[in-house]
Chains A and B, each alone.
Chain A
Amino acid sequence: MLFNSIEFIVFFIAVTGLYFLLPHKYRWSLLLTASCFFYMFFKPVYILILGFTIVIDYFAGIMLENQTDQKKKKQFLIMSLVANIGVLAVFKYFNFLNDNITGIAQFFGYKNQIPYLNILLPIGLSFHTFQAMSYTIEVYRGHQKAERHFGIYSLYVMFYPQLVAGPIERPQNMLHQFHEEKFFNYHDTVTGLRLMLWGMFKKVVIADRLAVVTDMVFNDPYNHSAVSIAICSAFFAFQIFCDFSGYSDIAIGSARIMGIKLMRNFDRPHSALSISEFWSRWHISLSTWFKDYLYIPLGGNRVPPVRRQFNLFIVFFMSGLWHGADWRFIIWGSLHGVYLVFANLTKDIRYRIRQVIGLTRLKWLDNSIQRTITFSLVAIALIFFRSNHLRDATYMIGRLPDVFGEIGGMIRKGAFNSGLHLESYKLAMCVLAIGLMEAVHFMQRDKAISVVFDQQPRYLRWGVYYVTVFAIIYLGVFTNREFIYFQF
């Protein structure tokens, strides 16, 4: 069931209404049943996989807590992690690994005899697996008590708003909320609905509109100009942000109405001045997951500088692998690793250069240049993420330097041509939608817009709500396009 569908609106109203009508002691069962229904709407059989990891991790948690022997504790943790990673390995990585074995075998003149698995990737597998893993790790570390209520634990893994695309929650933030009795709260409801509205706007008005343009170029890059490739690469950076953060906003908003607070997943990533800052603002729940459960265990900042850079690279390599069993995602993640290592190694010299040419004295210009560079690097890496094939990505990146020549040609002719086979008003609407979103982000630079918004008179607030609702209804692209991150 997609958030951007009529079915979800009906489902959401029914579940939320029932939630407040039922006594607290029955609410977990309502939410669990609703979550199962929500998940099974995609492909029912895959709930068995979820059930398998839930049972393993539930008992692993209790055994971890009961066990005083550190060695045995570790064994239980490993058992739980192996079960979770094993599911990921089979469903997500097996065929990819097999593909690579076939390639290597062919290179040496052998034939790979390992059969391929004819299976589909369960939707949101990487998300709920990581959320389940964070539970057992936290119990192992003693930061979280094992959950004894099987239903509540299942709900922790399956809570429908964030089941298929996060945010990847931590047990410390979530489990206690399911135990607490929640009452209808006007402010929470309005805040939640507002977030859902904004998320829906980003998804159907911006992301799915941009998708029409980006699909055109990414599906046929060889018949497009360098300018159109550059425009679409930038558009895709906004598209994926609006798609994913739109999902997160709807998830956070719908949970908030029920009084459950989920963690923030995005914080205006396109305003980042560096790649490192970008990752503190982009997919925060995953970035912090990797920091807490991979980077720090690898030694964190306490290791020698060279090792630290290597660890950083490993984290981003793994992040790429987490996204998808494909070299395109691995290269995307690795590129970010390379960006970060390079940035760390050249931090001083870059600052010195900016100082010498006087940029540091012009803060606004310095910031604008850094933002543009960061955005460009992110958008270039995303070409690998979105392309249909590696060769398409390398071709598109290879074409980018031609942009300057093409723009020069346009200036000489005195006519701009985007190279996109699209009516100009549609292109203008894409740009306008992005501009509007970034204007909202700009207003949030000092203070959360919801705080500012609450202080405005009702006619203004309602006016904005109406504009947003009408934009969704009349300008939204309702092709029931899945959220990009569902594939992970």
Chain B
Amino acid sequence: MKRFITRLLIFCLAPMAGLLALGYVVDAGLHKSRHFYYAEWNDLYDGKINADLIIQGTSRAWVHFSPQMLDSAFGINSYNLGMDAAPFDMQYERFKIYLRHNKKPKYILQEVGFNTTLMRSKSLPLFQQFLPYLHDTALWRVYKNLYPKVTLVERYFPLYKYNNQLPVLKEGIWSYMGKGRAPVKYKGYLGQEKQWDSSFGNMVRSNPEGIRWAVEPSAVALYREFLDYCKANDIKVIMVYTPFYYELDRYILNHAEVKKVLEGFATEYNLPYLDYTHCYLDSSKQYYYNSQHLNKEGSVRFTKMLIEDLKPLIAAMPPATGNSN
């Protein structure tokens, strides 16, 4: 038995140094990466954002708001922190991490919507984006909450967190060698050169009666906590409901209820609330690639419209302090 245990120990320990080294290479590479998943997280953790204005929200934020246009219109440094399919709790966690590594913004353009703002996260979309940062206790807590099956093995065993993520591993190694992918977003924004697709039709077929979206008390409380924090820290929040294709409205059974809660927040905290759900962009498919997302042309038009509406709200700002991009 002694012989067996000795060999087993040698077998287990022998590759550890190699695995740890490879794990370091991949993590370090991804921390430098400009890949779609990691560029904004890296800017955020490296404290390179320090924006005067941040845009916070879901995919309806990062495909709709162009920081480039906002910067040139107001002479400020803005940054888009929109995250795919991220309900507000996830956005808020990212905001907290942002504040730990960056100066607090003066303005937040908070994208709001029927299916994210007043709901808690139920799953972890695009979980790959979190993997290189699991050493961060705050992020680890979020990750573990949304993915209860995760164990400490993911956090500490070298490379295990990249299980079945060959493209991510590849990106890590290439980025470490300085050959990672070129950035595709500009300050978190990426206009989508896409045409109207079939997803709205599919949604209608699957839910011909429409969908009633939850207004979760715990999410409402969290949103209030966020607004309280901003008020206490003199961060001006501007709520923006970005455009969507008009036919979608019919399938959001409780849209009026959701909007009433959002308007209630605006009134209670005396916040500007810009609602573009019935703007001129809502009726033409040429501006959208699906019912909730504007394509590049639509997003440019939307940002122009937004800038006009923001002019009276945003005072003249000092010149931007520079940015990693």
Contacts and interface: CB of A to CB of B under 8 A. Distances in A.
B149 A476 contact: no
Interface string A470-488: 0001111110100000000
A466 interface: yes
Given A6-B151, A186-B4, A466-B15, A478 B163 contact: yes
B163 A189 contact: no
Given A425-B166, A465-B11, A480-B149, A474 B3 contact: no
Contact of B160 (A184, A466, A474): A474
A465 B11 CA distance: 9
B232 interface: no
Contact of A474 (B1, B4, B153, B163): B163
A20 interface: yes
Nearest to A184: B1
B137 interface: no
Interface string A370-409: 0000000000000000000000000000000000000000
Interface string B3-19: 11000000100010000
B163 A475 contact: yes
Interface string B158-180: 01101110110000000000000
Contact of A473 (B1, B149, B151, B160): B160
Nearest to B160: A473
A20 B157 CA distance: 29
B15 A473 contact: no
B163 A476 contact: yes
Most central of A6, A473, A475 by chain B CB within 10 Å: A473
A20 B149 CA distance: 32
A16 to B, nearest CB: 11
B187 to A, nearest CB: 29
A8 interface: no
Contacts of A425: 166-167
Contact of A477 (B1, B157, B164): B164
B164 A474 contact: yes
Nearest to B152: A6
Contacts of B151: 6
Nearest to A423: B167
B3 to A, nearest CB: 6
Nearest to A473: B160
Nearest to A190: B4
Interface string A159-197: 000000000000000000000000010100110000000
Give the interface SS of chain A, mostly helix, strand, loop or mixed: helix
A473 B151 CA distance: 14
A190 B5 CA distance: 11
Contacts of B3: 186
Given A6-B153, A189-B4, A474 B159 contact: yes
A465 B7 CA distance: 13
Contact of B162 (A184, A186, A474): A474
Contact of B11 (A20, A462, A477, A480): A462
B144 to A, nearest CB: 15
A210 to B, nearest CB: 14
B181 to A, nearest CB: 16
A465 B160 CA distance: 18
B150 to A, nearest CB: 10
B164 A20 contact: no
Interface string B248-278: 0000000000000000000000000000000
Contacts of B162: 474
Interface in B119-176: 149, 151, 153, 157, 159-160, 162-164, 166-167
Nearest to A189: B4
A474 B149 CA distance: 17
B213 to A, nearest CB: 24
Interface in B21-53: none
A216 B153 CA distance: 29
A5 to B, nearest CB: 10
Interface string A401-442: 000000000000000000000000100000000000000000
Contacts of A480: 149
A20 B1 contact: yes
Contacts of A477: 164
B168 to A, nearest CB: 12
A466 B151 CA distance: 23
Nearest to B202: A223
Contacts of B159: 474
Nearest to B149: A480
A480 B151 CA distance: 13
B164 A475 contact: yes
A478 B162 CA distance: 12
A465 B149 CA distance: 27
A186 B163 CA distance: 32
Interface string A1-38: 00000100000000000001000000000000000000
Nearest to B19: A470
Most central of B11, B157, B164, B166 by chain A CB within 10 Å: B164
A473 B15 CA distance: 13
A473 B4 contact: no
B118 to A, nearest CB: 30
A253 to B, nearest CB: 15
B6 to A, nearest CB: 11
A473 B160 CA distance: 7
Contacts of A20: 1
Contacts of A186: 3-4
Interface in B64-102: none
A480 B148 CA distance: 12
Contacts of B157: 473
Interface of B: 1, 3-4, 11, 15, 149, 151, 153, 157, 159-160, 162-164, 166-167
3 tightest A-B CB contacts, nearest first: A184-B1, A186-B4, A474-B163
Interface of A: 6, 20, 184, 186, 189-190, 425, 462, 465-466, 473-478, 480
27 contacts: A6-B151, A6-B153, A184-B1, A184-B4, A186-B3, A186-B4, A189-B4, A190-B4, A425-B166, A425-B167, A462-B11, A465-B11, A466-B15, A473-B157, A473-B160, A473-B163, A474-B159, A474-B160, A474-B162, A474-B163, A474-B164, A475-B163, A475-B164, A476-B163, A477-B164, A478-B163, A480-B149
Given A425-B166, A476-B164, A477-B164, 11 more contacts: A184-B1, A184-B4, A189-B4, A425-B167, A473-B157, A474-B159, A474-B160, A474-B163, A475-B164, A476-B163, A480-B149
